[in-house]
């Protein structure tokens, strides 16, 4: 059964991907002349990194050149995104994009070093993934209600981790606290991998993060999931309630991931990369990574992906008006 999309508006985009691919095939065939870098704005271990590394060999096989994943963590993914924005528009430097640098940072910062809408060229939306609210495996909390009750009894004593200031996880944590009427202390990291390590060891109280990075630790008993931020229960853990069912509203569902090139990249280059990405999504290796992450595959056209990003930016700007989150 096809999994439901997490963020409204992509079902139609995915359904028309085949049409976009047909248009792309009419473009002249481009091939890279040297190794291609795929920049990831977070430390290894998160789904952004996982997805880049499972796609890279598929691209290498197709084009006959190495596609090398390069992690550039820091500033919630902005360092990597800026590097791609400033790279030559020749198809040899790409970004495995995440909403933090592309849609959230522009909404929460007035000093972003680049304009995503003008400096970057979207290729395709690759995936969307739900998040789960996590605590240490032997935590005394058995439900979201237990966590909220303790936070109310000890204002500011509990901590929540994220992948960086104004990351998706940070926004989710702040909105969780606001909806629950509690005070928590934010602890930013440089990616989901380091976040999970410290959460499992008890250095922080909770985090809201992806299925991809948390599932192995949950199944090993090192982490415990209390709820999912997805609008519906996820198939992997059907007994896990949603945050809405737990009395928490207004928390974004999760993350999305896309392939992006520098602005002014020639149409033939974008078409070739789009075709390669769309054809890689149904391969067994990529499907396995998606399934392990409870992720919904994408495959939109560049135009549809741009419209999707603009809608996400508008949504986070509206959130910015209701919160005190700032990157400045």
Confidence of residue 328 (pLDDT cuts 50, 70, 90): low
Three-state SS at 74: coil
Distance in angstroms (rounded) separating the CA atoms of residues 293 and 288:
9
Asked if pLDDT for residue 1 goes beyond 50, the answer is no
Distance in angstroms (rounded) separating the CA atoms of residues 152 and 172:
18
pLDDT digits 0-9 by tens, 222-280: 999 999 999 999 999 999 999 999 999 999 999 999 999 999 999 999 999 999 999 99
* Cβ atoms within 10 Å, residue 258: 26
**pLDDT at residue 108 in the model:** 84
**pLDDT at residue 106 in the model:** 87
With contact defined as beta carbons under 8 Å apart, do 191 and 45 qualify? yes
Buried b (16+ CB within 10 A) or exposed e, 259-268: bbbbbebbee
Asked if pLDDT for residue 16 goes beyond 70, the answer is no
pTM of structure: 0.81
**pLDDT at residue 6 in the model:** 42
Distance in angstroms (rounded) separating the CA atoms of residues 324 and 87:
33
Distance in angstroms (rounded) separating the CA atoms of residues 57 and 96:
14
Asked if pLDDT for residue 298 goes beyond 70, the answer is yes
Distance in angstroms (rounded) separating the CA atoms of residues 246 and 145:
7
Can you give the residue range of the structural domain that contains 179?
A: 1-328
**pLDDT at residue 187 in the model:** 97
Range of weakest confidence among 35-44, 160-169, 238-247, 287-296: 160-169
Confidence of residue 11 (pLDDT cuts 50, 70, 90): very low
Burial of 222: CB neighbours in 10 Å, binned 0-12, 13-18, 19+: middle
**pLDDT at residue 75 in the model:** 84
Would you state the structure tokens that stand for residue 130, as one six-digit string? 């739900």
Q: What is the mean pLDDT of residues 36-42?
A: 96
**pLDDT at residue 235 in the model:** 92
**pLDDT at residue 74 in the model:** 86
pLDDT digits 0-9 by tens, 231-245: 999 999 999 999 999
Q: CATH no. for residue 31?
A: 3.40.190.150
Q: What is the mean pLDDT of residues 293-302?
A: 95
**pLDDT at residue 105 in the model:** 87
Asked if pLDDT for residue 180 goes beyond 50, the answer is yes
**pLDDT at residue 139 in the model:** 98
**pLDDT at residue 221 in the model:** 98
How many distinct structural domains can be found in the chain?
1
pLDDT digits 0-9 by tens, 86-144: 999 999 999 999 998 999 988 888 888 999 889 999 999 999 999 999 999 999 999 99
């Amino acid at each position: 059964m096809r999994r439901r999309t997490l963020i409204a508006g992509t079902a139609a985009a995915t359904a028309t991907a085949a049409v976009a691919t047909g248009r792309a095939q009419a473009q002249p065939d481009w091939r890279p002349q040297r190794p291609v870098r795929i920049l990831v704005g977070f430390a290894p271990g998160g789904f952004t990194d996982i997805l880049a590394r499972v796609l890279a060999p598929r691209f290498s096989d197709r084009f006959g050149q190495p596609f090398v994943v390069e992690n550039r963590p820091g500033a919630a993914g902005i360092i990597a995104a800026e590097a791609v924005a400033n790279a030559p528009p020749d198809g040899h430097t790409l970004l495995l994009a995440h909403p933090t640098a592309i849609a959230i940072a522009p909404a929460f910062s007035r000093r972003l070093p680049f304009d995503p809408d003008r400096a970057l060229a979207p290729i395709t939306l690759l995936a969307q993934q739900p998040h789960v609210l996590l605590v240490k495996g032997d935590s005394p909390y058995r439900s979201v209600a237990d966590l909220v009750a303790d936070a109310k009894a000890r204002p500011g004593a509990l901590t929540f981790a994220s992948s960086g200031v104004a990351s998706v996880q940070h926004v989710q944590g702040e909105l969780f606290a606001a909806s629950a009427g509690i005070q928590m202390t934010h602890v930013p990291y440089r990616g989901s991998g380091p976040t999970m390590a410290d959460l499992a060891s008890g250095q922080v109280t909770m985090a809201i993060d992806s299925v991809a990075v948390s599932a192995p630790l949950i199944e090993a008993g090192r982490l415990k999931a209390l709820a999912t931020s997805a609008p519906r229960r996820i198939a992997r853990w059907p007994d896990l309630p949603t945050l809405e069912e737990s009395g928490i509203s207004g928390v974004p569902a999760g993350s999305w991931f896309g392939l992006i090139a520098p602005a002014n990249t020639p149409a033939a280059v974008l078409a070739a990369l789009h075709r390669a990405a769309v054809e890689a999504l149904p391969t067994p290796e990529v499907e396995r990574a998606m399934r392990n992450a409870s992720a919904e595959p994408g495959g939109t056209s560049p135009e549809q992906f741009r419209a999707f990003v603009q809608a996400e930016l508008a949504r986070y700007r509206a959130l910015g008006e209701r919160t005190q989150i700032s990157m400045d």
